[in-house]
Amino acid sequence: MPKDLFIDIFDHRNPPIYKYYDGENWSTSLSGKLTEIISPVDGQIVGKIQQVAFAEVDRCLDRVKIAQKEWAKVPITKRTQILHLAADWMREHEHFLSTLLMAEIGKSYVESRDEIVRSADMIEYFSHEGLNMRGEQLSGDAFPGYDQTKIAMISRVPLGVVAAISPCNYPINLSVSKIAPALITGNGVIFKPPTNGSIISLYLTKIFLTAGLPKGLLATVTGSGSILGDYLVTQHDVNMVAFTGSSEVGEIIAKKTGMIPLLLECGGNNPALVLPDADLEVTAEEIVKGAFSYSGQRCTAIKYVICLSGTDEKLLPLVLKKTKALFKMGDIRIETNNFGPVITDEAAHKIEKALLIARAEGAKVVLGGKREGRYIEPTVIIDAKPHMEIVHSEIFGPILSFITVKSTEEAVNIINSSKYGLQVSIFTSDEGTGIKLAAKLETGSVLINSKPQRGPDHFPFIGIKSSGIGVQGIKYTLEAMTRFKPVILNKPH
């Protein structure tokens, strides 16, 4: 890596102190306050970030608002070139970014590298699809009572300033999924990264700038989400909020923002419904990967399994066997370890508490259940009931519960009674039965014979109820970040 590429975003103290990007310069905050970013891997300080003040957010918004007006005039082919260069820079520094991601949020190197590669691909796909966005023309004679004297020329125009707020579990991918479509459609962006994930997000910002993004168009402000994020979403110069995070925070944003477009990707508490005719070997592997990848810290993770009596007795031993075979807990800097820590001590404590409550309510731990600091073993629970907190609340960690039911109707009722509605997996050898069951489920997406997942990234990704607002996916996000603008001509007779 060229040593001068990232040199202006931090000073060379040990640990380094990172600056924020105010739209024009890398700056230290007037607040004088810093937040230490602690690695969940070993407890060491990765670096310190600025706690940006409200007045500085205001100045960033002013700059982005002005720069966006000019950016909207830039031909989309030029915007596309810049985004392609950003993807190239990301690939050029893939190893450095993957290693930093591993240290900052505790992902394995393989998972970290996959996120970087996927994000570079996503930037390019947004660029390609952006070139294909079209307006349309309508004639007045298509509606009764009108003739051909009126023609509507309908174009798509940017919304203005997009507030992009991303989570700690995919700080690059779920930042790119907001920043790239906003930029390609002519918007400006004020970017609030997660606390753990701020450092790599600052490097992402530098990559976009190195690719040629004009000054003022992207500002990256760091600090507490509950303070800075709350302030940001209520500012009148913000024309859209694109957020990924918990359902609780998403609901707060929805209440505070007023009449602006929202794209909210919130919590998921995803079940796997296993029918008696399912291929149990395949089912067990999909469930285990779906439940325990990145220590269960994904909105798309499987949180509970619903089986008919008899099926659970056949499936459970396979799940236990494959969990032991697929995951090895330990320091993820060691190549043989692929199951790392949860993000913070607070998160680990919350998961441990939920597990203790489940045991007190009658659930039984048949695998795992132990905690060492931020490390929590892959844990499998049986005799879970729908009323238990560990089932009806999203536990953002490596816990998988088994529920036994007497009928598929009972299973459907349990799933539909959830306040969440992100994804459901159905496992069956009869796809027709799976499709019929899918029609009964109140959820954003149904996956048949597959674990829940966000991609492929050009598919629609939808959360209903407390799981979100709006539709994501390459084409759908681009559409969400633009609006129709009709110009209606009245031709003389």
Active site residues: 265, 299
First to last CA, the chain: 66
Find, among 155, 170, 164, the residue nearest to 76 by Cα. 155
> By three-state DSSP, how is residue 127 classified?
helix
Find, among 269, 218, 320, 177, the residue nearest to 463 by Cα. 269
CA distance 459 to 442: 19
Sheet holding 379-382, edge to edge: 364-367, 379-382, 399-405, 302-308, 270-274, 423-427, 445-448
Q: What type of residue is 410? A: E
Q: Are β-strands 302-308 and 270-274 bridged in parallel, bridged antiparallel, or unpaired?
A: parallel
Q: Are the C-beta atoms of residues 268 and 395 closer than 8 Å to each other?
A: no
CA distance 68 to 72: 6
Q: What type of residue is 207? A: I
CB atoms within 10 A of CB 162: 28
CA distance 18 to 212: 22
The DSSP 8-state label assigned to residue 33 in this structure reads: -
